Amino acid sequence: MAQDIIDGINPTRMELLNLKKRTKLAEKGYTLLKEKRSALIKEFFDILDRVKGVREEAYSKLNEAIIALTSAQIVMGDMAVRKASLAVKESIDVDIASRSIMGVSVPIVNINMDEKSLIDRGYGFNDTSIQLDEAAKKFEESIKLVIELAEIEKTIYLLADEIEATKRRVNALEHIMIPKFKNTVKFIDMRLQDLERENFVRLKKIQSTVEDKEEENSDEMEIAV
């Protein structure tokens, strides 16, 4: 790897200048991407702290809700609970906006859920019990939390994807592109120096030949004189 250079490059001054420019750009990009990676990882950890609390809360609420539902089923019977549940009016409306974390757009969920009184729920009171009301209330609460959890988890996954992509880019620049550029610059530089030396030697040679000839000429002249 150490001697890797760009294939098919012409060792000319023009290319050297171009390459130097590209190296500079690559290095700039590398620092920027590294900063982006750090920022993303920081965000990632911030949100990881949040997810634990929310998950536990959501799961325990859900558990409570399921227990309440079970007791409603015990009191009323499966079928009656199902029937009542079908009568419940839809009350959850989510607004999805998005915000951008370092260029990753992540969802923000706004849950519009109005507090409902017993009457608003929509099932009749005739054949339902208080356990059912309890269960419905608990489920309403847990749905809110579950949706919040969904938002956070989605954000985590999106961030994770972006971090991986950025990491790959940073590594590609650091370990492949930049060394390659530098090696090529070195190669061209040495090649140009070599050419210069060659030229220098050639000039010296010509000079000495010319001088030799001049000397011969002057010798001949002297003889002639």
SS3 184: helix
Which lies closer to other proteins via its Cβ, residue 104 or residue 188?
A: 104
Of 143, 177, 185, 188, which lies in the binding site for other proteins, with binding defined by CB under 8 A? 143
Specify whether the CB–CB gap between 29 and 166 falls below 8 A: no
C-beta of residue 86 within 8 angstroms of C-beta of residue 160 = no
Closer to other proteins by CB, 94 or 172: give it: 94
Site for other proteins contains 108 (CB under 8 A) = no
In whole angstroms, the minimum distance from the beta carbon of 125 to other proteins comes to 15
Q: Helices (DSSP H) in 77-129: which residue ranges?
A: 78-87, 118-121
In whole angstroms, what is the distance from residue 210 CA to residue 212 CA? 5
Contact flag: residue 33 with other proteins (CB under 8 A): no
Phi first, then psi: give them for residue 106, nearest 5 degrees: -115, 150
Smallest separation (angstroms) from other proteins to the CB of 130: 13
The reply to whether 173 sits near other proteins by the rule CB under 8 A is no
Candidate segments 2-10, 77-85, 176-184, 192-200, binder of other proteins by CB under 8 A: 77-85
Binding residue (CB under 8 A) for other proteins from 16, 136, 177, 185: 136
DSSP-based three-state secondary structure for 7: coil
